Amino acid sequence: MKKIPQRTCVICQEKFDKRDLLRIVADKSGQIFYDPTGKANGRGAYICRSQACQEQFFNKNYLERTFKRKVEKEVVDQVRQQISNKMMKR
């Protein structure tokens, strides 16, 4: 049986299968975006699908904390939008 890689949610610190987490990437050019494929190059942050974790992640701008750089609110909103668009299609 193939083992599914596990990652930790940056908010609740619980471990989940990688495919069940939302991956947000900061790439070398400084772009920050939601990565539905899980394969984009760059530094990744994982959050679980819990509403509470997502709220906290975006409301407290964990993007800055995770990627250790300034992240404008517009970028935060953009990533949040990318995720909610994706969720609606499921």
Give the contacts of 41 (CB within 8 A, at least 6 positions apart): 25, 27, 28
Closest CB to Zn ion among 12 and 40? 12
**What φ, ψ does residue 73 adopt, rounded to 5°?**
-60, -35
Distance CA 40, CA 73 (A): 22
Stretch that binds Zn ion, among 5-13, 25-33, 36-44, 54-62 (CB under 5 A): 5-13
Closest CB to Zn ion among 11 and 63? 11
Residues 52-71, interacting with Zn ion (CB under 5 A): 53
Contacting residue, 7, 9, 71, 83, with Zn ion by CB under 5 A: 9
Beta-strand runs (E) in 3-71: 6-8, 15-17, 22-26, 32-34, 43-47
- Asked if 25 touches Zn ion (CB under 5 A), the answer is no
**What is the contact surface with Zn ion in residues (CB under 5 A)?**
9, 11-12, 48, 50, 53
